[in-house]
A = this chain, B = another copy of it.
Amino acid sequence: MESFKAHLDKFISINDEEFASVMSFFEVLTVKKKQNLMLEDEVCQFKYFVIQGCLRKFFINEKGIEQTTEFAIENWWISDTFAFEKQIKSTFNIQAVENSQILAIDYDAQEKLLEKHPLMEKYFRMVYQTAYAAAEKRIRYLYEMTKEEYYIHFSTLYPWFIQRIPQYLIASFLGFTPEYLSEIRAKLRS
């Protein structure tokens, strides 16, 4: 779990003893590609942190198509924040995109962790602040850009996105059909 320690060190000062105690609140999980971690209509029990691999969050739209709204790679959190904090049923699904190693924490463990290690309040404040800042930008893009522009923007900013994520999931994220995405890619290459 050295990578999680290195990640925490970017935000807070935490010694080895404290880190061991912090880790005791988490479960370490190994999940296979396409394994489901959360299903809609189930209470959102966990928040997930990606040590290695990639997860995605999606919902089923009214046409029955999977609409991906978020990916999480190394050092990123993923959950249905609203459903997790209220401990209610989620309207999203979370699934592994790659074989992954992840940390999971449930609501009670999170509350106990924050009580025992108030320093983790600072860590999560900064995590949510960064996530919210990214969401503010993303909402602007959804207003401002066509989906084609958003694809170009996204793939320029996050080359890992194009390299790691299967094409049908990129299409699911952008709300394209896979065929339309192929057309855009062909156009960009030419």
Which chain A residues numbered 84 to 134 have a C-beta less than 8 Å away from chain B?
Answer: 85, 91-92, 114, 118, 121-122, 124-125, 128-134
Binds B, one of A1-9, A14-22, A25-33, A135-143: A135-143
A98 CB to nearest B CB, Å: 22
Q: How large is the interface on A (under 10, 10 to 19, 20 to 34, 35 or more residues)?
A: 35 or more
Partner of A81, one of B67, B124, B129, B142: B129
A170 CB to nearest B CB, Å: 15
User: For residue A143, which residues in chain B have a CB less than 8 angstroms away from its CB?
Assistant: 61, 67, 69, 175
B81 near A132 with CB under 8 A, answer yes
> Binding site of A, secondary structure by majority: helix, strand, loop or mixed?
helix
A80 CB to nearest B CB, Å: 7
Would you give the 0/1 interface string for A31-69, flagging 1 where the beta carbon is closer than 8 Å to chain B?
000000000000000000000000000010110000101
Complex CA distance for A142 and B81, rounded to whole angstroms: 18
Would you give the 0/1 interface string for A130-163, flagging 1 where the beta carbon is closer than 8 Å to chain B?
1111111111101110000000000000000000
